[in-house]
Amino acid sequence: MMDSILDTEQMYAADRAAIARGISAYSLIDRAGVAAAEQIHVRWPTGKILVLCGPGNNGGDGYRLASQLHCWGRAVRVMEYAPQRARSAEAQAHREQCLVALEPLDETAFEAADIVVDALLGMGLQRPLSAALQTVLQSLQASSASICAIDVPTGIDGNGRCWAEAPLQAALTITFFRKKLAHVLAPSRFLCGEIKVVDIGLCEEDVTPPSYLYENQPALWQSAIPWPQPLQHKYQRGAALVYGGSEMTGAARLSALACARAGAGATTIACASDVWAIYAQSMQSVMVKRWHSLSQAAALSHSSTYQAVLIGPGLAPEPSTQELVMRSLLQTQVSSWVVDAGALTAFASQPESLFEGIHTSAAQVILTPHEGEFARLFPDLALHSNQKNKVERARQAAARSGAIVLLKGSDTVVASPDGRAAVQTQSSPYLASAGSGDVLAGMMTGLLAQGMSPWLAANMAVWMHSQAGLILGAGLIAEDLVQSIPTIWQQIGRMN
Ligand SMILES: NC(=O)C1=CN([C@@H]2O[C@H](COP(=O)(O)OP(=O)(O)OC[C@H]3O[C@@H](n4cnc5c(N)ncnc54)[C@H](O)[C@@H]3O)[C@@H](O)[C@H]2O)[C@@H](O)CC1
Ligand SMILES: Nc1ncnc2c1ncn2[C@@H]1O[C@H](COP(=O)(O)OP(=O)(O)O)[C@@H](O)[C@H]1O
Ligand SMILES: [K+]
């Protein structure tokens, strides 16, 4: 079973479940403090340590880890923020037992420390930081000390919401039991630096109901990889259809090549007859089929010739695209569909009709919007009009549309209507390049054509795409992503 990712509420609930089965709240802080001290000692074996303790249980962890580091002979100072504030009994107990002298917070001391441990505020943050605390964070950031955050860098809560003008940027973040949303979603993930998850005695059974949110890692889809079988011919490996546009013909070509390299045995581009020559001249392994009318185009996906269809890359966001999507999808016999780009924007004025089509269709659909396309289909769930986090927004969109929603970005989220969701946490900003999304959609279609379930194909494609971005790095263009797919397959092959 994969480790799940928790939101703040789920973490507090897991805490309560662990306490109910006999681990005391005092010992949770005890374990957290000792485990964090170990990590700090290993990462920075020498140097003067300053621990900043806040008024909550995050501060409780700070007192405990300071004592532990002191026992190991480290030079440690402890400074308190809001010491007079009422705290939990267990945080108070750890404060009283602290083996290091408690000093008032003094910003001039930051520069003298080699390592500053931020145990000011943790995931329980609920309101904007006071101006005084923001100033403390600013002087800490300006100092030359290495910053180690306990649970989360002060200024962001467990769900990744930012409550500070300038939250702290840590070099290392030590968190407990499981990663929280703040550790996987952008931009908070980038404030954490390296992230270490340590054990404090909680177990997956303490998370009830289960979170169903995971990091997108090979363990999620590895056992379902469609390796070709010795006796298969190309159509048994899987056939895919990619609808090509009439103006931006490059998009569908990139998608089709990525689809073929992802392993579809036969990939076909379908396009209007007047642009057939453009496609036919430039494609070799990919077949090109021409249609003369919209009904002919739609009919191509009414038979079971193909196992997967991709519609959208390079298609104009206009009524004819909307009509093509509806007419092809409603009567399709192809089980898996990817709807992307122009085919998403075509429904901007009436997203409900797309969702109705998806609910009515026999196909399983993956929608692959970036935030802009997402805002057109789900305006109330858009980034700046909804306070909810990206996982929640994608989950609601999936439930509403009946499709798997793959919401792109530096923290791509895949959410299924059944509630499962996954976040891609390792990626490359060089993927922000024209045509990169077309390659992603194509790879997904290739995996679907080979019979992978939409949930797994979506996640595997996102992972492969990110991996290609990480390997290629600076200078990559979408064509390179296509070229690198065999290397990614070799990498996956070596994992097995
Ligand atoms: N299983 C767990 O979740 C465990 C959590 N532990 C620690 O406990 C922390 C959570 O503890 P708490 O719930 O006490 O929360 P925090 O320590 O994060 O802080 C909450 C406290 O700060 C106050 N506060 C909230 N927003 C504020 C603001 N903007 N300015 C000033 N004060 C503010 C609150 O009134 C409360 O007193 C975690 O981050 C973690 O470090 C560990 O002790 C052990 C186990
Ligand atoms: N800053 C970033 N870091 C990592 N990946 C990114 C970043 N920005 C975009 N991407 C990825 O690059 C791809 C871009 O897709 P899309 O926006 O559809 O572009 P296009 O339409 O030009 O192909 C998506 O897979 C997205 O997740
Ligand atoms: K903290």
Q: 249-295 pLDDT, tens per residue? A: 999 999 999 999 999 999 999 999 999 999 999 999 999 999 999 99
> Which residue is listed with tokens 């290397």?
487
Helix (H) or strand (E) holding 115: strand 115-119
Residue nearest to atom 15 of ligand 2 (CA): 437
Ion ligand 3 residue ranges (Cβ < 5 Å): 118, 149-150, 154
Ligand 1 in contact with 129 (CB < 6 A)? yes
Ligand lying closest to the C-alpha of residue 312: 2
Residues with CB under 6 A from ligand 2: 341, 370, 408-410, 412, 427-429, 431-432, 434-438, 440, 465
Give 359's Cβ-side CA count (13 Å radius). Answer: 12
Residue bearing tokens 């990091």: 215
pLDDT of residue 496: 77
Summarize pLDDT for 366-397 with one digit per residue, the tens: 999 999 999 999 999 999 888 899 999 999 99
Would you state the pLDDT for residue 386?
80
How much is the pLDDT for 80?
98
**424 contacts 381 by C-beta, under 8 angstroms:** no
Residues of the chain with CATH 3.40.1190.20: 218-495
From the CA of 53, how far away is ligand 3's center (Å)? 9
pLDDT in tens, the chain (496 residues): 788 999 999 999 999 999 999 999 999 999 999 999 999 999 999 999 999 999 999 999 999 999 999 999 999 999 999 888 989 999 999 999 999 999 999 999 999 999 999 999 999 999 999 999 999 999 999 999 999 999 999 999 999 999 999 989 999 999 999 999 999 999 999 999 999 999 999 999 999 999 999 999 999 999 999 999 999 999 999 999 999 999 999 999 999 999 999 999 999 999 999 999 999 999 999 999 999 999 999 999 999 999 999 999 999 999 999 999 999 999 999 999 999 999 999 999 999 999 999 999 999 999 999 999 999 999 999 998 888 999 999 999 999 999 999 999 999 999 999 999 999 999 999 999 999 999 999 999 999 999 999 999 999 999 999 999 999 999 999 999 999 999 999 999 999 7
Q: Could you tell me which residues come within 8 angstroms of residue 284 by beta carbon, excluding any fewer than 6 positions away? A: none
Contact between 160 and 179 (Cβ < 8 Å): no
pTM for the whole structure? 0.96
Task: Please tell us whether the domain made up of 218-495 is placed in CATH 3.40.50.300.
Answer: no
Cα of 211 to ligand 1 centre, how many Å?
21
Which listed ligand is nearest to 150 at the C-alpha?
A: 3
CATH of domain 8-211: 3.40.50.10260
In sequence order, what E strands does 204-275 have? 213-215, 239-243, 266-272
pLDDT for 230 equals 92
User: Where along the chain do the CATH 3.40.50.10260 domains lie?
Assistant: 8-211
443 close to ligand 1 (CB < 6 Angstrom): no
Q: Is 25 annotated as a binding residue?
A: no
Ligand 3 midpoint to CA 168 (Å): 9
Whole-number pLDDT of residue 384: 87
Separation of CA 88 and ligand 1 centre (Å): 10
What does R_g of the chain's alpha carbons equal in angstroms? Answer: 26
User: What whole-number percentage of the chain has pLDDT above 90?
Assistant: 97
